[in-house]
């Protein structure tokens, strides 16, 4: 379990750690949206590893909730706050890699 947490931490540090260390965006509405979305994503990831989380809940998170939150709220806010640091293509690639990791880890296949 410690290895899974370490891998998760190392995997997500470039996504969230760098964002929090950069200069805060000038637009407080964008900052608030980014922080709120980041908290929601963290909540999803924490729930995935909770031993009491059912497989159906993990499917809901990985196939619906997490990707929707990331694509509709996190990416737009991050691009507005740091347009020179990130591209939509790079963020979508990170999302895909993250989802694939968790789907493989929890043996989940989304029906799309």
Q: Any residues with CB less than 8 A from the CB of 6 and at least 6 apart, and which?
A: none
Q: What Rg, from alpha-carbon coordinates, does the chain have?
A: 14
Q: What is the pLDDT of residue 18?
A: 45
Residues 6+ apart with CB under 8 A from 65: 44
pLDDT tens digits, the chain, 112 residues: what are they?
555 554 555 455 555 544 445 555 467 889 999 999 999 999 999 999 999 999 999 999 999 999 999 999 999 999 999 999 999 999 999 999 999 999 999 999 998 6
* C-beta atoms surrounding 49 within 10 Å: 15
- Structure tokens belonging to residue 75: 């990416």
- Which pTM value belongs to this model? 0.74
Q: Say if CB 78 and CB 19 are below 8 A apart.
A: yes
């Amino acid at each position: 379990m410690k290895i899974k947490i370490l891998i998760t931490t190392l995997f997500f540090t470039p996504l969230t750690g760098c964002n929090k260390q950069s200069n805060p965006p000038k637009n407080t509405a964008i900052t608030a949206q980014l922080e709120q979305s980041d908290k929601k994503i963290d909540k999803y990831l924490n729930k995935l590893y909770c031993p009491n989380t059912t497989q159906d809940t993990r499917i809901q998170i990985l196939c619906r909730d997490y990707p929707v939150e990331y694509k509709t709220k996190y990416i737009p806010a991050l691009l507005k706050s740091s347009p020179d640091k990130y591209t939509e293509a790079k963020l979508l690639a990170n999302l895909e890699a993250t989802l694939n990791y968790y789907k493989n880890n929890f043996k989940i296949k989304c029906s799309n």
